[in-house]
């Protein structure tokens, strides 16, 4: 479907509004034509104090004027004045209501298209977001949709303007078809001259859309990466970058506005020239049919009608320019709303109820869309209900990818994943994902209260349930110490909280949802020791009696897992319990030994540092009085030889004690070093 047809389909959802707009525009054009036809006769009537009557000339003009010539004295003029004023009032009222209806229609279209865009964003697969920039999406939903809907509104206004032009042209033809043909040729010439500006408007519209998209993307990147920008002191460079985008966007807007603004002066000049030409032609065409006495009146009526028509033609040209300027947005939005060029996950018909047996992966292979290299190859695993499977391995082994297949963020290219023998693709997608809880290293929190973040994704949640989940997640104590407790706003992505606090809120959220299947993706890998201990306790509570898939970097956290699958280059190379894999002496044993040695060194270094601190404290404690005693002797402040001997002896014993402390420290550090 073409862009215009796609967007027109949204407009046709409101046929009543469109018909009302057209009828109002038609009424406004009729009243405008009546008032324009009678203005000149009214002026002549006021000047001559009697209604203008024509014995010859255009039949339509003679018939209209005869209506107002039937009264006595000035009654015809008064009646004509009343009709003119009523027509002007009705014309402007209809134009006002048309403007309101057109504005309301445009707003409805904007909301409909934005809702369709947001719905599409929520339904499209994750792979789509890998290929597009977030700022580009924001720009399409906000600015491009508004400009596209404005193009539809301008299109309707174009139609109404054409109706007005046709009515005026019809009246002009009844006066003199020859003069109207000549006038039409002149107006076509004016329109042809305007066409070059229309082409320029389309060009500037494309440039403006592109530069607006670049600006929105850059601004969103700055807002998203503000912590990194500040951490490296790159504020000036980012300001210059966004400033360049702003300047380019401003230049495009200026060019577009300048192109639009020049239309008025050009049309005015062309209009005056066309008017003078029509006066000359009118005298030649009307001289044969209209007596000289009435020629001025008929030509005056014609010129006044034409003069009222020219701004409408200028308005038409302006609307065409605006439509051309906004038309690139219709193409952008139409392409954005297309579904045939975007990935969507098919949903099955079977509602997920509860796991009864377990999860089985049969010969599962996977490669990312538009890539050829296999990320997973022939994976076979069985996870019985209520047990924990831990996935370990080096970075890039495929652990997180395998976990992403369970909630169907992606589907295998070969093999299948089944729950209780039922292929995941046969389950209703929403019911399947609602039965799963996912806690990852990169926890996302909304910029709202702690209460709302814990209750997210679960309707009709009571405070008691939220409090209970927070307590089970080891989060209740720190939450009640926040300024407003559970009602505290935690900032963008939970910036007011530490990493461990964010993780515990995410675990509380998962506990509240009570998922049937739990996926933990390195939930403690980025935490300090204290936070890790608290989070691990919360995770142990969360995993109780659940079917759990754990992706672990620290092997000490998964030693109690029912199964541990070691992955290398997208394949499962070992599987078993912790003790079984240690005995095998394979990949897992090497990973564990490396981490254990690293952990042991960390413990030793911490112990050495603690011993050094304690020894330093002891030495300072002993050394200060010893120096004080010796200083008294050196300065000759001791009166008797007995006191001098006593201070010297005390300093000697302090030195002996210092020596013993140093020897003890040396022995303790030697004993901490690993053998070999």
Cβ atoms of 33 and 171 within 8 Å: the answer is yes
Pairwise CA distance, residues 34 & 90, whole Å: 11
pLDDT digits (tens, 9 = 90+) for 385-395: 888 898 988 87
| pLDDT of 513 | 81
| pLDDT of 125 | 81
Is pLDDT at 107 greater than 70 in this prediction? yes
Residue with more model confidence, 100 or 369: 100
Reference 563, options 546, 545, 581; nearest CA is: 581
Mean local confidence (pLDDT), 411-434: 89
pLDDT digits (tens, 9 = 90+) for 172-229: 888 878 888 887 787 778 777 777 777 777 777 778 878 887 887 788 778 777 877 8
Most confident of the ranges 291-305, 334-348, 376-390, 493-507: 376-390
Mean local confidence (pLDDT), 605-631: 57
Reference 106, options 322, 384, 256, 289; nearest CA is: 322
Fold of 596-672: Helix Hairpins (1.10.287)
* Six-digit token string for 506: 């995410």
| pLDDT of 498 | 76
| pLDDT of 535 | 65
Is pLDDT at 511 greater than 60 in this prediction? yes
Mean local confidence (pLDDT), 379-385: 91
- CATH 3.40.50.300 in the chain: give the residue spans: 358-577
Fold of 358-577: Rossmann fold (3.40.50)
Pairwise CA distance, residues 528 & 531, whole Å: 5
**pLDDT band, residue 143 (cuts 50/70/90):** confident
Q: Among 112-116, 227-231, 293-297, 426-430, name the one with the lowest average pLDDT.
A: 293-297
| pLDDT of 600 | 46
| pLDDT of 50 | 60
Residue with more model confidence, 615 or 76: 76
pLDDT, averaged across the chain: 77
Maximum distance among all Cα pairs of the chain, rounded to whole angstroms: 151
What's the pTM?
A: 0.61
Is pLDDT at 638 greater than 70 in this prediction? no
Angle at 23 between CA 21 and CA 27, to 5 degrees: 115
- CATH 1.20.1560.10 in the chain: give the residue spans: 3-337
Mean local confidence (pLDDT), 631-653: 63
Q: Look at phi and psi of residue 172 and say left if phi exceeds 0, alpha if psi is from -120 to 50, else beta.
A: alpha
pLDDT digits (tens, 9 = 90+) for 521-530: 876 655 555 5
| Beta pairing, strands 563-568 & 571-576 | antiparallel
Is pLDDT at 156 greater than 70 in this prediction? yes
| pLDDT of 337 | 82
Pairwise CA distance, residues 63 & 444, whole Å: 77
User: What DSSP element (H or E) covers 661?
Assistant: helix 641-672
Mean local confidence (pLDDT), 422-442: 85
129 Cβ contact partners less than 8 Å away, ≥ 6 residues apart: none
Domain 3-337 is of which CATH architecture? Up-down Bundle (1.20)
| pLDDT of 380 | 92
Cβ atoms of 472 and 541 within 8 Å: the answer is yes
Residue with more model confidence, 668 or 149: 149
């Amino acid at each position: 479907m073409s862009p215009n047809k796609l967007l027109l389909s949204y407009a046709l959802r409101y046929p009543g509004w469109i018909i009302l707009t057209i009828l109002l525009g038609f009424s406004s054009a009729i009243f405008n034509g009546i008032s324009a036809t009678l203005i000149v006769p009214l002026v002549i009537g006021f000047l001559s104090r009697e209604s203008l009557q024509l014995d010859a000339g255009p039949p339509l003009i003679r018939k209209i004027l005869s209506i107002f010539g039937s009264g006595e004295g000035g009654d015809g003029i008064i009646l004509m004045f009343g009709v003119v004023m009523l027509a002007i009032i009705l014309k402007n009222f209809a134009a006002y209501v048309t403007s309101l209806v057109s504005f309301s229609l445009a707003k409805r279209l904007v909301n409909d298209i934005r809702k369709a865009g947001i719905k599409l964003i929520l339904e499209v697969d994750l792979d789509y977001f890998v290929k597009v920039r977030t700022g580009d999406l924001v720009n399409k939903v906000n600015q491009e949709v508004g400009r596209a809907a404005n193009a539809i509104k301008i299109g309707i206004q174009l139609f109404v303007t054409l109706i007005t032009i046709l009515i005026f042209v019809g009246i002009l033809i009844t006066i003199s078809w020859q003069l109207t043909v000549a006038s039409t040729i002149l107006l076509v010439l004016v329109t042809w001259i305007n066409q070059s500006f229309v082409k320029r408007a389309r060009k500037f519209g494309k440039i403006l859309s592109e530069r607006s998209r670049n600006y929105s993307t850059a601004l969103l990147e700055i807002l998203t990466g503000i912590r990194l920008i500040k951490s490296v002191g790159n504020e000036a460079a980012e300001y210059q970058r966004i400033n360049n985008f702003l300047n380019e966007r401003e230049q495009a807007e200026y060019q577009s506005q300048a192109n639009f603004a020049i239309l008025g002066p050009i049309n005015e000049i062309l209009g005056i020239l066309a008017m003078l030409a029509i006066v000359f032609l009118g005298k030649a065409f009307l001289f044969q049919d209209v007596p000289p006495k009435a020629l001025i009146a008929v030509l005056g009526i014609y010129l006044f009608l034409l003069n009222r028509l020219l701004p409408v033609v200028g308005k038409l040209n302006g609307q065409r320019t605006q439509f051309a300027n906004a038309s690139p947005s219709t193409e952008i939005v139409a392409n954005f709303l297309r579904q045939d060029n975007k990935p969507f996950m098919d949903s099955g018909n079977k509602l997920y109820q509860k796991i009864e047996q377990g999860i089985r992966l049969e010969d599962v292979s996977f490669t990312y869309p538009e890539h050829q290299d296999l990320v997973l190859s022939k994976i076979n695993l069985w996870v019985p209900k209520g047990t924990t499977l831990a996935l370990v391995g080096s970075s890039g082994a495929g652990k997180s990818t395998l976990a992403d297949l369970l909630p169907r963020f992606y589907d295998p290219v070969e093999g299948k994943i089944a729950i209780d023998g039922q292929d995941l693709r046969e389950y209703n997608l929403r019911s399947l994902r609602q039965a799963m809880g996912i806690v990852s290293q990169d926890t996302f929190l909304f910029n709202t209260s702690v209460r709302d973040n814990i209750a997210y994704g679960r309707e009709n949640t009571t405070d008691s349930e939220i409090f209970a989940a927070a307590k089970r997640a080891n989060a209740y104590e720190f939450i009640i110490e926040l300024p407003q407790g559970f009602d505290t706003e935690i900032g963008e992505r939970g910036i007011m909280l530490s990493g461990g606090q964010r993780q515990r809120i995410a675990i509380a959220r998962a506990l509240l949802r009570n998922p049937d299947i739990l996926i933990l993706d390195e939930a403690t890998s980025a935490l300090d020791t204290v936070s890790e201990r608290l989070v691990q306790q919360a995770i142990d509570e969360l995993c109780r009696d659940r079917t759990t898939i754990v992706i672990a970097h620290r092997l000490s956290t998964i030693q109690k897992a029912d199964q541990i699958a070691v992955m290398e280059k997208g394949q499962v190379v070992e599987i078993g319990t912790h003790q079984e894999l240690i005995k095998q002496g394979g990949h897992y044993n090497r990973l564990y030994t490396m981490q254990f040695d690293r952990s042991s060194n960390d413990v030793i270094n911490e112990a050495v540092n603690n011993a050094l601190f304690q020894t330093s404290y002891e030495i300072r404690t002993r050394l200060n009085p010893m120096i004080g005693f010796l200083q008294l002797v050196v300065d000759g402040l001791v009166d008797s030889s007995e006191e001098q001997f006593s201070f010297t002896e005390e300093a000697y014993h302090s030195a002996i004690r210092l020596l013993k402390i140093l020897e003890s420290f040396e022995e303790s550090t030697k004993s901490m070093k690993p053998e070999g």
